[in-house]
Structure 1
Amino acid sequence: MLTPSLPSEGASGVPVGAWRRLDAGLFARAADGTPRTGILSMTSDDLVTGTTDLAMTYRIGPFVAVTARGTGVERIANDASETIGTDAAPQANSRIDVIWVRATFVLDGDTAPTTTFGVSKGAANQNPQKPPIPAGALELATAEVKSSDLATQTVLITQTWRYTAAAGGVVRLRNKAEMDAWAPANGALAYRLDTGETITRAGGAWEGVTTSYDPVWSAAATPPTMGQSTISGEYVRRGKWVHFSLRFQIKTGANGGTGPWRFSLPVQAAAGGRQVVAAHIENAGVAFYPATGTIEGGSNVVGLIAHTGTGGGGGLSSAAGLGADSIVAISGSYRAA
């Protein structure tokens, strides 16, 4: 059903339920339309910290939060540092505290409309478990309180609040776990704090993330054997383009097989003409050769064409005969299928 407009000329204004539904459109949402609750980016500083207070209190810094129950959202601002108390440390073992913030509404069955901080306290145990928090509460941090803690200054506090953003904005994500848990609609942007990468949601997955892969070494005729050799690769995909790099170091026991060498790509190449990337060969630290990586249309591998010295082609066409500790490096961008 339609909500009243905002602003409204109605004598009674806009009901709180309608206002919350209208506000939900102002913030980032998952692909299923669920609003993303969290802290609007103001700082990367810790929000919850310990104190030296022997009465056991946590300090909570300023923030603006988006919280939600159902389809609507509400905004909560903490303008200055606040403290909230918790219980004394357990006599033995440890417990988990969860520090949270929450807005309450009579509409949702609460006794009164207010905003409040809270601490949910788990049971003391050798392997303490995280306790649940009230419906609609936004988790800010967890704290493991040991029996030896006299104040929260020595408590292990983990910042568990997450970032959110305005609709169409860039959501900050601390790490891969947060990235994997966030599934917005295609076209959404996010920023990985741990890697410094801006990533894009496309095709139901994240693009622009540096990802490791395990290249496979092969030859056109007789298969090679790895011996003690090592090979690694990584790639980033953005739309139809893939940037990749791989490094192959030949070690004792390797046999190059026969025929031109090939290395598997992280993503199949687009159909059509041949694509070319750069390559370099270091022959056991003695000689260096420029080389070319060739990717045929629709292929899953990059071929290696090596050149002698610093000039023309020919020689080492299969890169066979390289000694132990030789290195093959290939990198570049190609259009993917």
Structure 2
Amino acid sequence: MTYTGWTGGAEITTTRLNAISGIWVPYTVSWTATTANPSIGNGLLEGKYALVGGMCTVRINLSMGSTTTYGSGEWQFSLPFVAATLGHVDFHWVGGSTGLDRTTAWHPGQSRVASGANHVRCISPTAADGGTGGEWNATRPHVWANTDILNLTCTYEPA
């Protein structure tokens, strides 16, 4: 979808007011991977966004089902709007993510949206010192299975 910010002379309509009022709006999230796409199966994938002051906050929740498959390669989740371009290719919009492995524990991470991207990814340390990061996939930050949960949030400027 295309984001249209407010400019002088813009007409006030119910739809436009709702779009910028901070109301959570559901959207259809696509879950893909860089090599082979996962499939939600009988799991649950939901996404919502809210627009406030020219910024978009996104929350995505994923509950793995017994027929969910995890694909291969780095996971990414679609955004409702393309992100604005930042001043450097290595700058990102960042947020938080958590992965719940029902058999062990919660795994904290960060969500990140690259400059000009249309998707968000999760990343967390892969080394004990926290110095090496890795994108989340079928086996990171843990081996995903039925009833596991992934939650992420991120705030970014739409293009």
* TM-score between both structures, scaled by the size of structure 1: 0.38
Say whether 1:286 aligns with 2:104: yes
Say whether 1:318 aligns with 2:137: yes
The 3-state SS of whatever aligns with 1:266 is coil
Return the match for 1:300 from 115, 118, 123. Answer: 118
Contact preservation (8 Å) 2:64, 2:149:
yes
The 3-state SS of whatever aligns with 1:225 is coil
Identity of aligned residues (%): 23
Say whether 1:220 aligns with 2:39: no
Say whether 1:332 aligns with 2:154: yes
Which amino acid is 2:73 matched to? G
The superposition leaves residues 126-164 of structure 1 with CA deviations (integer Å, 9 ceiling, x where unpaired) of xxxxxxxxxxxxxxxxxxxxxxxxxxxxxxxxxxxxxxx
For 2:96 and 2:129, how far apart are their aligned partners in 1? Answer: 15
Contact preservation (8 Å) 2:121, 2:136:
no
> Cα RMSD between the aligned structures?
2.9
CA-CA distance at 1:315 after TM superposition = 6.6
Q: Summarize the Cα distance change of 1:315–1:302 in structure 2 as closer, same or farther, 3 Å threshold.
A: closer
- 1:162 maps to none
Q: Summarize the Cα distance change of 1:297–1:304 in structure 2 as closer, same or farther, 3 Å threshold.
A: same
Say whether 1:259 aligns with 2:73: yes
The 3-state SS of whatever aligns with 2:144 is coil
* TM-score between both structures, scaled by the size of structure 2: 0.76
- 1:115 maps to none
- 1:119 maps to none
Q: Summarize the Cα distance change of 1:311–1:336 in structure 2 as closer, same or farther, 3 Å threshold.
A: farther
The aligned runs of 1:158-169 (5 Å cut-off) are: none
Displacement over 3 Å in runs of 4+:
185-190, 306-311, 313-317
The aligned runs of 1:40-189 (5 Å cut-off) are: 186=10
- 1:207 maps to 20
Contact preservation (8 Å) 1:289, 1:308:
no
Alignment gaps of 5+ in structure 2: 1-8
The 3-state SS of whatever aligns with 1:267 is coil
For 1:326 and 1:275, how far apart are their aligned partners in 2? Answer: 26
Between 1 and 2, higher relative CO (CA 8 Å, sep ≥ 6) is seen in: 2
CA-CA distance at 1:240 after TM superposition = 2.3
Count of matched residue positions in the alignment of Structure 1 and Structure 2? 142
The superposition leaves residues 44-99 of structure 1 with CA deviations (integer Å, 9 ceiling, x where unpaired) of xxxxxxxxxxxxxxxxxxxxxxxxxxxxxxxxxxxxxxxxxxxxxxxxxxxxxxxx
Larger Rg: 1
The superposition leaves residues 280-307 of structure 1 with CA deviations (integer Å, 9 ceiling, x where unpaired) of 1101252211111111111110012134
CA-CA distance at 1:250 after TM superposition = 0.7
- 1:269 maps to 83
The 3-state SS of whatever aligns with 1:289 is strand
CA-CA distance at 1:222 after TM superposition = 1.2
The 3-state SS of whatever aligns with 2:107 is strand
For 2:34 and 2:66, how far apart are their aligned partners in 1? Answer: 22
